[in-house]
Amino acid sequence: MFLPLFIFVLTICALYGDKECGKNEVKSNCAGCEVKCGQSEFDPCPAKCRLDACYCSPHAYRRNATGACVPIAECPKMEKKEKENEIYFLCSDANEIELKQFVYEQYFENVLIFWELVKVASVICCRYTSKTNTIFMIVLVSYSLFILFQVEKAYTYTKPVFTKRAQASIYFLKILMICAAYAEKKCGRNEIRTICGGCELKCGQSKFDPCPAICRRNACFCSPHRYRRNSSGACVRISECPKRNTS
C-alpha cells in the first residue's frame, strides 16, 4: 500500500533534485519575494510559496526584463518619476547602491561630495530628535547653497554643469523636507524608518520568506542585514535570536 506512495515521493524528489540554478541565482525550497530591476528589498510582495525555485541573490543582483539575474548596476535606468520615489526609502541601508548610482547618473558631477551629504541627511532623518534635526538641516541647507553658488577663481561653470548643480541642490532640499515632515517619529534601538515598508524579518525567518503585500507608512523596522524582531518586540542581533529546535 505504501510502496506506490513511496515511489511517487522519490520521483518528485528526483525531479526537483535535478534542478540547477542559473548564473547569480540561489535556490530556495520556499521563497516568495524576488527583487526585480527597479524594485527595492522593502517593496511589499504577495504571500506565496514557490517550491524549489531559483532566485536572484538579493544583495547584489536583480532579475531583468529578459529573465536574467544581473548586477544592480546593469539594470535599465528608471524613469525620473520612479527615481524620485527612492527618497522614500532613504532611511534604509538596503538602497545605498541604487541611490548612489542614481545620484551619480542623474544629478551631480561630484558624486563623492553630494553622496556624503545624502548619507548625513539620512542619518539625521532616521536617528535624531526633531530639535537636532532642525539644527542640522539649517547647516546642510547652507552647505547645499554653497555648493550651488561657489565659483572657483580659474573656472567658470558652463550652463550644463550649473544645471546639474542646481538639480542637485533641489533634490537635496527635497530630502530635507521629507526628513522634516517625518522628524517627530523616533525609532527604537537597532531600528530604521521607512515611509512605506512591508516586509520585516522576525527571529527564525529568512529574506526569502513570503510576506503580505501591505504598506506600513512611516513605520520603524529592524535593520534587515543584522537584526531580527524577537518575541518581545525588540530588534536583536541575529545571533541573539533563540535557536531553532531541529529535533
Alpha-carbon distance of 53 to 5, in angstroms, equals 24
| Nearest residue to 41 (alpha-carbon basis) of 176, 186, 221 | 221
- pLDDT score for 142: 57
Q: Strands 191-197 and 216-222, how do they pair?
A: antiparallel
Average pLDDT, integer, range 175-180: 56
Mean pLDDT to the nearest integer, 233-246:
83
Q: Can you give the pTM of this predicted structure?
A: 0.33
Which of 91, 40, 79, 41 is CA-nearest to residue 195?
91
CB 192 within 8 A of CB 26: no
- Per-residue pLDDT band for 79 (boundaries 50, 70, 90) equals very low
Query: Does the residue 10 lie in any domain?
Result: no
- Distance separating alpha carbons of residues 218 and 196, to the nearest angstrom: 6
CATH at 202: 2.10.25.10
Percentage of the chain surpassing pLDDT 90? 2
Q: Is residue 5 part of a domain?
A: no
72, 61 Cβ separation under 8 angstroms = yes
Q: Does residue 110 carry a pLDDT above 80?
A: no
State the average pLDDT over residues 229-247.
83
Residue 137 burial (10 A CB sphere; 0-12, 13-18, 19+): buried
In the predicted structure, residue 154 carries a pLDDT above the cut 60: no
Residues 47 and 109 in one domain: no
Residues 200 and 227 in one domain: yes
**134 pLDDT higher than 60:** no
pLDDT of 71 > 80? The answer is yes
Residues 173 and 201 in one domain: no
- Higher-scoring residue by pLDDT: 105, 165: 165
Query: Which residue has better confidence, 42 or 55?
Result: 55
State the pLDDT at residue 236: 92
CB atoms within 10 A of CB 41: 19
| Per-residue pLDDT, 187 | 75
Nearest to 59, CA basis, from 85, 94, 29: 94
DSSP string for 205-217: --TTS------EE
Q: Please count the structural domains in the chain.
A: 3
Q: With contact defined as beta carbons under 8 Å apart, do 32 and 209 qualify? A: yes
**Residue 60 dihedral angles phi and psi, to the nearest 5°:** -130, -5
Question: Which of these three, 135, 154, 182, is where a domain ends?
Answer: 182
Least confident piece of the model among 91-95, 118-122, 124-128, 194-198: 91-95
Clarify whether residues 103 and 79 are in a common domain.
no
Amino acid at 45: C
Model confidence band, residue 72 (pLDDT cutoffs 50, 70, 90): confident
pLDDT at 204: 85
Helix or strand holding residue 63 (H, E): strand 61-63
